[in-house]
């Protein structure tokens, strides 16, 4: 599947995100501790802009009164009804097998490999006249 250049790495520092339009889809691109993840910006429940939701921890419990917190910033909560999705896989928390949001492969590529657009790389929002790719920067690609 074609890879789309969606952002410079610098534009999405760790802990932040960017919403992009790629191939007719709204996609949220997240930087979690230097790793990038991309999810469809559409909750499978009622279509909310999922990727604008709060990022939180995975909350588990061994029993009433116990709260275990892990993987800070890796659980995405839908801004509407609060469904939780694992940012790494797109799986919902409450039913990982049957309820998920589409997740996309990402990759980082140095500017030197991208300008002008390399074969197999579909021009994305950054390949436009006003946003030239720089060989000194790295870029985030999303496969859609």
Partner 1 sequence: METPNPPLIDCDVHAVLPVFEALLPYLPAYWREQVEQTAFKGPVDPWYPPGLPTAARASTLPADGSPAASRVGLVQAGVLDAAPHPSFAILNSDCAVESLHNPDAAATVAQALNDWIASEWLAKDGRLRASIVVASQFPELAVREIERRADDPRFVQVLLPVRSEAPYGSRNFRPVFAAAASHGLPVALHYGGSPGNPPTPVGWPSFHVEDYAGVTGVFQTQLISIIAGGVFDEHPALRLVLAEGGFAWLASMLWRFDKNWKGLRREIPWVKRPPSDYVREHVRVTTAPSDAPEDPAQFASAVAQLGSDEILLYASDYPHDHGDTFAAGGWDTVPAGVRRKMMSDNPRSLYRL
Partner 2 sequence: MSKATTAATLVDCDIHNAITPAAVARHLPERWRQYHAQFGRRITPGDFYPKATPMASRTDSWPPGGGPPGSDLAFMRKQLLDAWPIEFGILNTLITIRNQYRDYDAAMATAANACQIAEWLAPEPRLRASLLVPFEDSELAVAEIRRHAGDKRFVQVLIPSRTSEPLGRRKYWPIFAAAAESGLPIGIHFGGWSGGHPISGAGWPTYYIEYHTGMNQTFQAHLISLICEGVFEEFPKLKVVFIEGGVAWIPPVLWRLDRSWRQLKAETPRLRQLPSEYFREHFWLTTQPIEEPPEPGQFLEMVAHLDMDDRLLFSTDYPHWDFDSPDSALPSVLPAGLRQKVRRDNARALYGFA
Q: Quick one: 47 or 116, whose CB is closer to partner 2?
A: 47
> Applying CB under 8 A, which part among 5-13, 44-52, 102-110, 136-144 lies near partner 2?
44-52
Site string for partner 1, 54-83 (x = CB under 8 A): --x--xxxxxxxxxx---------x--xxx
> Applying CB under 8 A, does 9 fall inside the site for partner 2?
no
Sheet holding 121-122, edge to edge: 106-110, 138-143, 3-8, 121-122
CB of 2 or CB of 79, closer to partner 2: 79
What the block records as the tokens of 57 is 């921890």
Q: If 0-12 CB within 10 Å is exposed, 13-18 middle and 19+ buried, where does residue 46 land?
A: exposed
Between 12 and 51, how does the x/- string for binding to partner 1 read (CB under 8 A)?
A: ----------------------------------------
> 63: cis peptide before it, omega within 30°?
no
Give the separation between CA 76 and CA 24, rounded to whole angstroms. 22
Among partner 1, partner 2, none, what binds residue 53 when CB lies within 5 to 8 Å by partner kind?
partner 2
| Residue 6, C-beta contacts closer than 8 angstroms, at least 6 positions apart | 18, 20, 22, 27, 29, 38, 124, 125, 126, 139, 140, 141, 142
Residues 52, 57, 134, 138: which binds partner 2 (CB under 8 A)? 52
Least separation in angstroms between CB 133 and partner 1: 41
When the beta carbons of 49 and 122 are compared against partner 2, the nearer one is 49
């Amino acid at each position: 599947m074609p890879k789309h250049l969606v952002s410079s790495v610098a534009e999405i520092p760790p802990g932040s995100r960017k919403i992009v339009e790629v191939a007719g889809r709204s996609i949220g691109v997240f930087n979690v501790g230097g790793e990038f993840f991309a999810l469809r910006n559409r909750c499978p429940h009622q279509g909310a802009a999922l990727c604008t939701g709060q990022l939180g921890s995975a909350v588990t419990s061994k029993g009433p009164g116990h709260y275990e917190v892990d993987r800070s910033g890796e659980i995405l909560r839908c801004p509407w009804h609060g469904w939780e999705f694992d940012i790494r896989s797109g799986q919902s928390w409450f039913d990982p097998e049957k309820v998920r949001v589409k997740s996309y492969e990402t990759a980082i590529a140095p500017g030197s490999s991208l300008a002008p657009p390399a074969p197999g790389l579909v021009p994305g929002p950054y390949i436009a006249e006003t946003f030239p790719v720089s060989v000194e920067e790295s870029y985030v690609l999303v496969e859609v």
